[in-house]
Amino acid sequence: DAGVIQSPRHEVTEMGQEVTLRCKPISGHDYLFWYRQTMMRGLELLIYFNNNVPIDDSGMPEDRFSAKMPNASFSTLKIQPSEPRDSAVYFCASSLGSENSPLHFGNGTRLTVT
């Protein structure tokens, strides 16, 4: 299996632009998570899905952030409009089942908003 695939690996954009991050989970995994990692805040859970349905989006910082999972093999995290404070590494992770299963992380997208 190719693992969790995220794209792009790096994104540099100007403040105010829309940013879309993409994730392909491991085939068969029914949970998908979006995390943000920064030096200041560490690893923060933004939102997670179970069977394509958002379960908990309480970590989404504000309305500028939105996430979708239109099918079992694809998810997007969108920031519109982007701001410099959104600069971080965004990780997508997937798991099979729930509490007993470890998360499998993608390589992350390093976002820089200037």
Partner 1 sequence: AQSVSQHNHHVILSEAASLELGCNYSYGGTVNLFWYVQYPGQHLQLLLKYFSGDPLVKGIKGFEAEFIKSKFSFNLRKPSVQWSDTAEYFCAVTTNAGKSTFGDGTTLTVKP
Among the residue ranges 18-26, 47-55, 71-79, 80-88, the one whose residues contact partner 1 (CB under 8 A) = 47-55
State which residue, 3 or 16, has the beta carbon closest to partner 1: 3
Let me know: does 60 contact 49? Beta carbons within 8 Å.
no
Let me know: does 59 contact 47? Beta carbons within 8 Å.
yes
Let me know: does 43 contact 37? Beta carbons within 8 Å.
yes
Burial of 13 (C-beta count, 10 Å sphere; 0-12/13-18/19+): middle
Choice from 7, 13, 50, 66 touching partner 1 (CB under 8 A): 50
Interface positions, 75-94, toward partner 1 (CB under 8 A): 91, 93
Binding track over 20-39 against partner 1, x by CB under 8 A: -----------x-x-x----
15 binds partner 1 per the rule CB under 8 A = no
